């Protein structure tokens, strides 16, 4: 057995989705399409918000930040996953695994915190509309966005250091298609029960507390909306919240299924469906949900498409 200190010589292998080459090719194509859709969708949202001055509001500022996070999040997992599907012998070094885990936690936790900030933004806009511009100043918006990144960085650093201070004695197979926290922790050649308990406590704190804050915000939001006499006013208020609430349920639902299950019942072999949804499908759905359920974004997209198509039509005529 290799010395535990020789971490540079240790490599991990990702578990293949299937041993059938034809199935692997189909999975590769599906994942590649989802990755490209995620990148193009989130870039489109960011560009639309950047180009159109009518979208230069706190709500769309946070949405642009969310789109940028989703784009980076997809890029952290997808390229190496696609490479490992094409070549089952693909390996990742211990430092490389640590880097992937760090950015995975950083972007995922920042994403969750940003959803809380977006819920607060909707709370102020609906419950205190007369004071909205005063409360949600651009200075505060920038501070909140940077604060979410700092909190995500702190959490990622703490968890990554917690995991990679453990000794890893030999090269092994990772039970998933990326370096997830609990899976890598269980590859250490040491007793990890204290680390697993710490991870569970941190997961409960970082998932349940933000979700409770979002829930409290929406309790006040719904109570305020129900007091609106105009049916059109109620519909407009609900429409600005429905897309955000859908993304919240997707994000926190998948995260809870992965990280809030007791570690004793955790088994990588029970399937990779939830991690696939969390890392590939959710980044694709988020831009679709926001663009399809948001009238201002749809109008901005139509204007850009008309601007692109009309000159083409005029040249043909």
pLDDT at res. 233: 72
- The reported pTM is 0.85
Q: Give dist(CA 204, CA 3) in Å, integer.
A: 35
pLDDT in tens, 171-199: 788 878 888 888 888 888 888 888 888 88
Element (H, E) at 91: strand 91-93
* CATH code for the part of the protein at 7-312: 1.20.1070.10
pLDDT at res. 89: 73
Residues 6+ apart with CB under 8 A from 227: none
Q: Which of 274, 285, 221, 273 is nearest to 248 (CA)?
A: 285
pLDDT in tens, 80-111: 889 888 887 778 888 889 999 999 999 989 99
β-bridge partners, 75: none
pLDDT-wise least confident of 76-80, 220-224, 242-246: 242-246
Per-domain boundaries in the chain: 7-312
Q: Indicate if the pLDDT at residue 225 is higher than 60.
A: yes
Q: Give dist(CA 61, CA 50) in Å, integer.
A: 9
Element (H, E) at 4: none
Q: Indicate if the pLDDT at residue 79 is higher than 80.
A: yes
């Amino acid at each position: 057995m290799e010395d535990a200190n020789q971490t540079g010589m240790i490599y991990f292998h990702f578990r293949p989705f299937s041993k059938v080459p034809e199935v692997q090719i189909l999975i590769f194509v599906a994942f590649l399409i989802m990755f490209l859709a995620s990148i193009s969708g989130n870039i489109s949202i960011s560009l639309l918000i950047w180009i159109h001055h009518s979208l230069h509001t706190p709500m769309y500022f946070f949405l642009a930040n969310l789109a940028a996070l989703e784009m980076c999040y997809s890029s952290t997992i997808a390229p190496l996953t696609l490479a490992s599907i094409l070549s089952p012998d693909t390996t990742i070094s211990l430092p490389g695994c640590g880097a992937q885990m760090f950015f995975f936690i950083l972007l995922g936790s920042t994403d969750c915190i940003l959803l809380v900030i977006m819920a607060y933004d909707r709370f102020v806009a609906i419950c205190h509309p007369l004071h909205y511009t005063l409360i949600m100043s651009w200075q505060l918006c920038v501070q909140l966005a940077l604060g979410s990144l700092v909190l995500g960085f702190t959490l990622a650093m703490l968890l990554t250091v917690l995991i990679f201070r453990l000794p890893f004695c030999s090269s092994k197979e990772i039970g998933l298609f990326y370096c997830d926290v609990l899976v890598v922790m269980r590859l250490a050649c040491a007793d990890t029960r204290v680390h697993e308990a710490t991870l569970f406590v941190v997961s409960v704190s970082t998932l349940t507390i933000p979700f409770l804050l979002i829930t409290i915000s929406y309790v006040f939001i719904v109570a305020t909306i129900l007091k609106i006499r105009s049916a059109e006013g109620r519909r407009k208020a609900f429409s600005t919240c429905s897309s955000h609430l859908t993304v919240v349920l997707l994000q926190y639902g998948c995260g809870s299924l992965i990280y809030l299950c007791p570690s004793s019942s955790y088994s990588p072999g029970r399937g990779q469906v939830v991690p696939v949804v969390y890392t590939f499908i959710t980044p694709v759905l988020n831009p679709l949900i926001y663009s399809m359920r948001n009238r201002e974004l749809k109008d901005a997209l139509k204007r850009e498409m008309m601007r692109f198509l009309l000159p083409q039509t005029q040249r043909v005529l």
